[in-house]
Chain A
Amino acid sequence: MELIDKLSILADAAKYDASCASSGAPKRSSEGKSGLGSTDGMGICHSYTPDGRCVSLLKVLLTNFCLYDCQYCVNRRSSDVPRARFTPEEVVTLTLDFYRRNCVSGLFLSSGIIRSADYTMEQLVRVARLLREEHEFRGYIHLKTIPEADPALIEEAGRYADRLSVNIELPTDASLQTLAPEKQLGSIKQAMQTIFTGEQTVLNEPRASRFAPAGQSTQMIVGADDTDDSTILHGAQALYGNFKLRRVYYSAFSPIPNSPKSVPLAAPPLMREHRLYQADFLLRSYGYTAGELFKGPGHLALDIDPKLAWALANREVFPLDLNRAAASLIARIPGIGLRTTERLVALRRERRIRYEDLARMRCVLAKAKPFVITSDYHPLQAEVTSQLLYQQLRDRPQPQQMGLWG
């Protein structure tokens, strides 16, 4: 099979992995050196596909032959898809070619399970080793980790890769048993622990060789089972806490050709995925806890963002005086982000904050208005009930054209 045919099959097979980030790597440069590539911590999106997603890395599978039968996966062994397999050298050639063209900032390599977990992992590591050692490649490498592989192989992967990831796949053990019978939550978490330990070992040793300096991430498929958002985000919070994950990616289940009966035929609304990312961001960067976002089981609202939802449910905190309130509380005002919070704090060291400052900083005024006090503004809406505010502020869906055939 021609290389270009393999590429079309193995890129098509890899598109269901949401992550394509190239950020978080240490500073490396090839200035005046042989070899190729640099990283500086900031990721670069070299292109965007019409689904709005960033193309930062060459994201391919080494092979889409797979012994597993995960029901949500297009590459499961019972799936009727064309199959292909790259040699490690072919992946290296493609990576370097795309890199020199400035089309990508590195490689994200994953694979179906062939022969055994160890064999598959060895192949992935081999690609990374060829790139780093034979070609002195200093760009970004993200390797998918096969959970059941020998920890020694995972450790080797960590020495070549900037990022490692083990997919948690589904939010609960029960769903995993039903939809991905060959996978076990135990071995997934064990692999995460191996990576976490690897990171910790080199943490305080400046002379130690680096270990996955851009950390580890995971992906969870949303909407292939009936798990609610509360369970998902409590799960994510535990992963951030236990294994210091950099990111949990939520991938709305994308229906696959010849879909088995065990998974839905339609995708969940993409808005659900979006709300999960918003809530996840609140956990990682704003200091919210999952318990604050959910009063019990259930989903995030689709028609208001989770920060606004929290504010409406906690009106006793508001309105907040921007000239006095702690920065961490200002960041909880709907329509005011982390960046604006910093700017407000810088500005109020120089002078009193006025209402028009908010407009200049491009806050979402409609959302912020009922929740703020400035030196010249006190919200009339402070007395309005949350129910009424909700009616005013919720997103109204665009009217949709009905499908011709229902």
Chain B
Amino acid sequence: MIHLDCDDLFDNWRQQARWLLSHEVDPSRVSWASDHVADLFASDDAPPANPGPFQARIPRTLLDTLERAARYRGDQRWSLLYEVLWRVSHGDRTAMLAGDRLGSELTRRIKQVQREAHHLHAFVRFVAVQQEEGPEYVAWHEPAHDILHSASEHFVGRMGRHRWLIATPRDGVYYDGEQLIYQRQCPTEWQTLAKNVEDPHGAMWLTYYSHIFNPARLNPKVMQGHLPARFWKNLPEGVLIPGLISQARTGKQQDGQASSIKGRAGKRIALTENERDSPP
């Protein structure tokens, strides 16, 4: 058994996989460390020291596919990729397709990764920081896969010349108005800043969120499917959700109006003579 550690970096893995493949090392004889936890049953064989004779030919799209799937955090993170690479380089292209046992897992991982990138684009919440230098907007986010670096490019287009920072428990990214600075280990001061920022003007958004909700159409199951509960704690509106749900339930809600609007004085509009005769 050959035991490898690529430090969860795709380029390291790619180098290792290329050498293994050149020696035609069967996937069953290799394992990669996950989260730096060594495989209990591994007995170490030394990896080959020089490139071997086998010339693998793989389609150009495969590398891109593997790189995307590599952002997935989970069991067999790297060995699955090697198995796909092995089969495709030995002429079995079905390993890349969703109908295949491996291909279906590969596709599932890519989908999860894409979904997590989308979650970043959707659920990051920037809060303005009152300071002259450094970031103008900061956010704390907890992605489930290694998507921060590739997916945060999106905010460069979105935020223009603003300076912003996204901190996570692992990595972090800062845009200084000109370039994107990625830190694999998020600096503690970034984390502290993002987690403790005060938001004196947060009430507008919370008001909007409460009032755009139609309590007569309560459907928490669908909401949770799209907005998994793990994100609630970092969303400002997250704390409102349980209250809005129980209010809609107990209020025996028959119409869509928010209760705070119901209590207020209303105003019927009378038409003037003129308007009555010639409608607008």
Binding site for B on A (CB under 8 A): 3-4, 7-9, 11-12, 14-16, 29-38, 40, 44-55, 58-59, 65-67, 74, 77-83, 94, 97-98, 100-103, 113, 115-117, 139, 148, 182, 252, 254-257, 259, 265-267, 270, 343-344, 346-347, 350-351, 353, 357, 360-361
Contacts and interface: CB of A to CB of B under 8 A. Distances in A.
Contact of A7 (B125, B159, B207, B222): B207
Given A30-B157, A113-B280, A49 B205 contact: no
Contact of B208 (A11, A16, A38, A83): A11
Interface stretch (B19-27, B78-86, B240-248): B240-248
Given A50-B248, A51-B215, 15 more contacts: A3-B204, A8-B207, A29-B156, A37-B160, A46-B122, A51-B213, A52-B220, A77-B270, A79-B266, A102-B155, A103-B205, A113-B280, A257-B255, A270-B219, A360-B99
B275 to A, nearest CB: 6
Contacts of B10: none
B160 A35 contact: yes
B186 interface: no
B208 A7 contact: yes
A339 to B, nearest CB: 9
A101 B223 contact: no
B187 to A, nearest CB: 22
Which of A33, A81, A103 lies at the interface centre, i.e. has the most chain B CB atoms within 10 A of its CB?
Answer: A103
Nearest to A350: B94
A44 B121 contact: yes
Interface centre among A65, A115, A255, A266 (most CB of B within 10 A): A255
A255 B256 CA distance: 7
B251 to A, nearest CB: 13
Given A47-B235, A48-B223, A8 B268 contact: no
Contacts of B97: 343, 346-347, 350
Interface string B179-208: 000000000000000000000010111011
Interface stretch (B41-49, B65-73, B257-265): B257-265
A159 B169 CA distance: 44
Contacts of B226: 45, 48, 52, 54
B212 interface: yes
A254 B161 contact: no
A121 to B, nearest CB: 11
12 contacts: A12-B261, A36-B162, A44-B118, A50-B245, A52-B217, A52-B219, A58-B208, A77-B270, A79-B268, A83-B267, A182-B279, A347-B94
B137 A50 contact: no
A102 B124 contact: yes
Contacts of B217: 51-53, 252, 254, 267, 270
Given A15-B214, A67-B279, A350-B94, A37 B269 contact: no
Given A48-B227, A66-B269, A103-B125, A36 B211 contact: no
Grouping DSSP codes into helix (H, G, I), strand (E, B) and loop, the A interface class, with mixed when no group exceeds half, is loop
Contact of A30 (B100, B158, B245): B158
Interface of B: 93-94, 97-101, 104, 118, 121-128, 137, 139, 154-162, 178, 201, 203-205, 207-223, 225-227, 235, 237, 241, 244-245, 248, 254-258, 260-262, 264-271, 275, 279-280
A33 B161 contact: yes
A90 B209 CA distance: 18
Contacts of A34: 160-161
B203 A4 contact: yes
A65 to B, nearest CB: 6
A80 B159 contact: no
A254 B216 contact: yes
Contact of A347 (B98, B157, B210, B241): B98
A52 B213 CA distance: 9
Given A51-B218, A254-B216, A33 B269 contact: no
Contacts of B210: 8
Nearest to A20: B212
A255 B254 contact: yes
Contacts of B219: 50-52, 270
B157 A257 contact: no
B125 A361 contact: no
Contacts of A33: 160-161
Q: Name the residue among B211, B223, B225 with the largest chain A CB count within 10 angstroms.
A: B211
A101 B126 contact: yes
Looking at B122, B125, B237, B245, the one whose CB has the most chain A CB atoms below 10 A away is: B122
Contacts of A357: 99
